[in-house]
Amino acid sequence: MTDESPALGLDLPEVAAASPYRVLARKYRPQSFDQLIGQDAMVRTLANAIDRGRIAHAFLLTGVRGVGKTSTARLIAKALNCIGPDGQGQPTIDPCGVCENCRAIAEGRHIDVVEMDAASHTGVDDIREIIDAVRYASVSARYKIYIIDEVHMLSKNAFNALLKTLEEPPEHVKFLFATTEVNKVPVTVLSRTQRFDLRRIPPEKLVAHFDAVAKAEGVDVDPDALAMIARAAEGSARDGLSILDQAIAHGAGTVTADQVRDMLGLADRGRIRDLLELILQGDVPGALSSLDEAHDLGMDPASILRELMEALHSATRAKAGAQAEALLSAEQRDFADKLADALSWGKIHRLWQMLLKGLGDVTIAPDPQEAATMVVLRLIHSADLPDPASLIERITGTKAGAPTAPSGAAAAKPDPAPSAAAATALPADFRALVERVEEHGKHQLAVQLHDQVGVVRYAPPELVVKPRRPLGADWPRDVAAVLKEATGAAWTVTVADEAAEPSLLEQEKMAEEQVRASVLQDTAVRSAFDAFPDAELESFSLNKGA
Could you tell me the residue ranges of all domains in the chain? Answer: 39-197, 269-384, 420-500
Taking Cα atoms as reference points, which of 142, 102, 111 lies closest to residue 13? Answer: 102
pLDDT score for 8 = 52
pLDDT score for 174 = 92
Longest dimension (CA), the chain: 94
Rounded Cα gap, residues 416 and 397, in angstroms: 32
Rounded Cα gap, residues 514 and 504, in angstroms: 15
Which sign, positive or negative, has the C-alpha torsion 244, 247, 253, 258? negative
Contact 479, 447 (CB under 8 A): no
Q: How many CB atoms lie within 10 A of CB 88?
A: 7
Helix orientation angle between 223-233 and 203-216, rounded to the nearest 10 degrees: 120
Rounded Cα gap, residues 31 and 452, in angstroms: 50
Between strands 462-467 and 453-459, the pairing is antiparallel
pTM to 2 decimal places:
0.56
The model's pLDDT over 226-281, given as tens digits with 9 standing for 90+, comes to 888 888 888 888 888 988 888 888 776 788 888 887 777 666 677 888 888 888 88
pLDDT score for 178 = 92
Contact 494, 463 (CB under 8 A): yes
Task: Give the Cα-Cα-Cα angle 324, 237, 241 (nearest 5 degrees).
Answer: 110
Q: Provide CATH code, domain 269-384.
A: 1.20.272.10
> CA–CA distance from 52 to each of 173, 214, 415 (Å)?
19, 39, 67
DSSP string, 176-210: EEEES-GGGS-HHHHTTSEEEEPPPPPHHHHHHHH
Rounded Cα gap, residues 313 and 276, in angstroms: 13
pLDDT score for 541 = 60
Q: How many C-alpha atoms does 307 have within 13 Å on its Cβ side? A: 25
Taking Cα atoms as reference points, which of 279, 480, 308 lies closest to residue 384? Answer: 279
Rounded Cα gap, residues 443 and 175, in angstroms: 51
> Which CATH architecture is the domain 39-197 placed in?
3-Layer(aba) Sandwich (3.40)
Q: Provide CATH code, domain 420-500.
A: 3.30.300
Taking Cα atoms as reference points, which of 274, 328, 265 lies closest to residue 302? Answer: 265
Residues in the chain predicted with pLDDT less than 70, given as ranges, are 1-19, 252, 265-268, 324, 326-329, 383-425, 524-546
Rounded Cα gap, residues 33 and 531, in angstroms: 64
